[in-house]
Amino acid sequence: MIVIRVLLEVKLDQLDAFRAHAADEGRRARALAGCEQYAFFEETGQPGRFLLYEEWASPEAFSAYKSSPELEANGKVIFPMLAVKPNSAYWDAAPLE
């Protein structure tokens, strides 16, 4: 399983547009093969700060997403809304049972 954490800082004048896009993007991504979780969270009390949390069933599923037209289209919308470069971390992980 691949687990991804992305911290995002959105320009304050782009918050409404970002929220709308993030909700749609989450639904689209969760419908993709191998996507087990894809959710945006907004930090309370910190306007513009968001967390994107992703889980992919396998490295292959994540690799397919990374080279997909969906990710490219998402980046074209989201990156201009950001105040700073995203801070990402990736784990090749196994859940504790």
Interhelix angle 69-78/15-30, rounded to 10 degrees, is: 170
What average pLDDT does this structure show over 21-47? 93
pLDDT of residue 97: 82
DSSP 42-93: EPTTSTTEEEEEEEESSHHHHHHHHTSHHHHHHHHHHGGGBSS--EEEEEE-
- Model confidence band, residue 16 (pLDDT cutoffs 50, 70, 90): very high
Q: pLDDT tens digit string along 35-75?
A: 999 999 999 999 999 999 999 999 999 999 999 888 899 99
CATH class of domain segment(s) 2-85: alpha beta
Q: pLDDT tens digit string along 67-97?
A: 988 889 999 999 999 999 999 999 999 989 8
- Model confidence band, residue 4 (pLDDT cutoffs 50, 70, 90): very high
Q: What is the pTM of this model?
A: 0.90
